[in-house]
Structure 1
Amino acid sequence: MFTSNGYVLAETPERLARLQPVPKAERTDRDALWDRLRRDGYLYLSGHLDPALVVEFRRYYFAALAHTGLVQPGSDPVDGIAGGGPLDRGAYRETLFDSIVPSAEYEALCGNPLIAEWFAWFFNDDVHLHRRKIIRHIAPDERGIGTATQAHYDLVYLREGSDRVLSMWIPLGDIPLGLGGLVYLEGSHRWVLAEEREGRLGRPAASITADLPGLAERHDTRWLITDYTAGDVMVHSAHIVHASLDNTDTGGRMRLSTDIRYQRAGEPIDWRWQEHWHDDDGL
């Protein structure tokens, strides 16, 4: 059973299916990749990064926050086992926003050549990495509305710049289905693009809904899911609707991921995304 914010996803073939990774034969064919992105709204690049790169950052993240009570005492930080006790929220926020987010380690991950040079190749142009980059962890005991990522598309948060910005979601470690990975609403970028063109979606930045099964019913489509492994990345357009599953891991392991955004350097850049991420930044 798969849930998101407590809602149970229907598992019929009409409502649930698997994400399709880019075949190896297309991985170095830029035109084929663009055709696939326009058709599907996403590129599932399995094994794109060195797994050691993301696992080492996972270790760094949880080790840096161990003193806050986030991680189970005595456990290996790379396992990311939830502490289970009270969290020192002040120390947590200070460490996350003042140390981890602006750290050289995080910058090195997000600007790694396998990422930065890939985007430059894919865009066939100079590229810009938005400074506002988000790291999320979700513990297994987090339940209810507002814990898992609700259904949304990225453009509602990026309206001051180009609508051709691309997001990359990076699992920081293995994220099997029970750990709460990202899911995509099949074909949703098409109706979002159509409604954007007609100006029907120009509302304040907000999620669409926490009710993923209801949204799939309304648009008669499927949620696309997969088991992610360390080294996988998802590249998606600013128009495709996506969300996340609940973390139901029975071993207490926390899901950790980051999402970053690249675009052509010569296109309009949303100025609000040019400072480090902070939970008080209003976005």
Structure 2
Amino acid sequence: MPHSTVPERVEVKEQLYVNDGPLKPEQVGLIRPVARDTPIEELQRRLEEDGFLLVKGVIPREDVLRAREKYFKFLSPCGVLKKGTAPVNGIYNDNEDVSKFPGIGSGAAGANGHPGEQAAAFVDLSLQAHTEPWYAEDLCRHPALKEFVAELTGWKDNTFGLRRSLLRNNIPNTKAIGVHYDQIFLRYGEPTSLTAWVPIGDVSIKGGGLIYLENSVSYGEELEQQFTEKAMAAGLSSEEAKSAFNKNMMTTGLLTEDPGEFARLNNRRWMVSAYEAGDVVFHNPFAIHASTINHDPNNVIRLATDLRFVDSSRSYDKRWDNHYTLDDGV
């Protein structure tokens, strides 16, 4: 199958929304996907050029859907799924109060604080899912993914998947992920990690998928340098300056909650896509990204995970050697 690309200027007809409202047509472009069998030199060039790379079919689709089914069976006692629907479909039970099902991740509840009692059962199961073998081993350490990363990066046997991951469920019509780049949360190591964003199931273009600011890597590097200089000028210790939640940043570690305004101020588009189970998006630690609000027309819960890979022969953020917890400070 020859590799192909989608022209960037193809019109996105669907209206997409972020935390600060609808994205304007001129603020949106389509990500150019590539096939798994694209020559490695082309994949490397595209990753270097764009800062992110959407590769189709990296992981066998059936393996991804198996993890999705197990996840929603695991969470189903909380009442999050619509009655009579198959767990693998992940159809939200909109008869329930959405506040019972908050998302988790950077800044989801202050600086990783625990939500209220009503949501505790759902959040506790969401956290426990991070350590279940069908996720932590079968999906996160899938040999097809690791082999691809080893080839893409050239790290070969030094390719190492960090244990800490963010397994995020995104309920329809709830708050989306704000604007950030990953190095903010990986400052205790060299800025050489590679993130693999894995949609665990199909994500429609209106389903709350990840979006990437075009040509953003150099801007992310510039922002990080500014944060470093500001921390030094403020007299922060080296330890304080490394924190994603230091006093010179937003309490969540994000750049902003408002992708629409951020794109306008920087005169850049958000690159968007629909995703299929088996796809993986790889991105640079300085690539600026966010997500849209999940407005899937069929009330499908968006499920995805953020996995980080490093070259084990180089310095990396050892805080990521442990499974994610709400109070881990990362």
Q: Normalized against structure 2, the TM-score is what?
A: 0.78
What count of residue pairs does the alignment treat as equivalent?
274
Q: Pick closer, same or farther for the CA change 1:225–1:66 going to 2, 3 Å.
A: same
Q: How many percent identity over aligned positions?
A: 30
Whether contact under 8 Å (2:28, 2:271) holds in the other structure is yes
How far the C-alpha of 1:163 sits from its partner, in A, is 0.4
Q: Distance in 1 between matches of 2:264 and 2:324?
A: 34
Q: Distance in 1 between matches of 2:36 and 2:75?
A: 38
Q: Pick closer, same or farther for the CA change 1:73–1:24 going to 2, 3 Å.
A: closer
Pairing 1:73-152 to 2, within 5 Å after superposition: 73-84=83-94, 85=96, 87=100, 89-98=119-128, 100-106=129-135, 107-125=137-155, 126-142=158-174, 147-152=175-180
User: Which has the higher mean CA deviation after the structures are superposed, 43-52 or 118-127?
Assistant: 118-127
How far the C-alpha of 1:238 sits from its partner, in A, is 0.3
2:60 maps to what in 1?
50
SS of the residue 2:169 aligns to = strand
Structure 2's unaligned 5+ residue stretches are 1-14, 101-117, 232-240, 245-252
How far the C-alpha of 1:195 sits from its partner, in A, is 4.1
Q: Distance in 1 between matches of 2:130 and 2:53?
A: 26
Q: Pick closer, same or farther for the CA change 1:230–1:201 going to 2, 3 Å.
A: farther
User: Which has the higher mean CA deviation after the structures are superposed, 237-246 or 78-87?
Assistant: 78-87
Deviations 1:199-230 (Å, cap 9, x if unpaired)?
45766521111221211121111110111111
Q: Normalized against structure 1, the TM-score is what?
A: 0.90
How far the C-alpha of 1:123 sits from its partner, in A, is 2.6
Whether contact under 8 Å (1:171, 1:233) holds in the other structure is yes
How far the C-alpha of 1:191 sits from its partner, in A, is 1.7
2:183 maps to what in 1?
155
Q: Distance in 1 between matches of 2:36 and 2:64?
A: 22
Q: Distance in 1 between matches of 2:142 and 2:200?
A: 14
Q: Pick closer, same or farther for the CA change 1:94–1:211 going to 2, 3 Å.
A: closer
Task: Report the residue type matching 2:173 in the other structure.
Answer: D
Moved over 3 A (4+): 194-204
User: Which has the higher mean CA deviation after the structures are superposed, 85-94 or 40-49?
Assistant: 85-94
Task: Report the residue type matching 1:116 in the other structure.
Answer: K
Q: Pick closer, same or farther for the CA change 1:64–1:214 going to 2, 3 Å.
A: same
Q: Distance in 1 between matches of 2:219 and 2:120?
A: 42
Q: Pick closer, same or farther for the CA change 1:23–1:141 going to 2, 3 Å.
A: closer
- Pick from 14, 35, 52 the counterpart of residue 45 of structure 2: 35
2:215 maps to what in 1?
187
2:28 maps to what in 1?
16
SS of the residue 2:139 aligns to = helix
Q: Distance in 1 between matches of 2:230 and 2:279?
A: 32
How far the C-alpha of 1:74 sits from its partner, in A, is 2.6
1:63 maps to what in 2?
73
Q: Distance in 2 between matches of 1:162 and 1:256?
A: 29
SS of the residue 2:309 aligns to = strand
1:230 correspondence with 2:269? no
Deviations 1:86-114 (Å, cap 9, x if unpaired)?
5463332332323x211111121111111
- Pick from 229, 234, 247 the counterpart of residue 294 of structure 2: 247
Whether contact under 8 Å (1:185, 1:241) holds in the other structure is yes
Q: Distance in 1 between matches of 2:222 and 2:76?
A: 46
Q: Distance in 2 between matches of 1:21 and 1:275?
A: 32
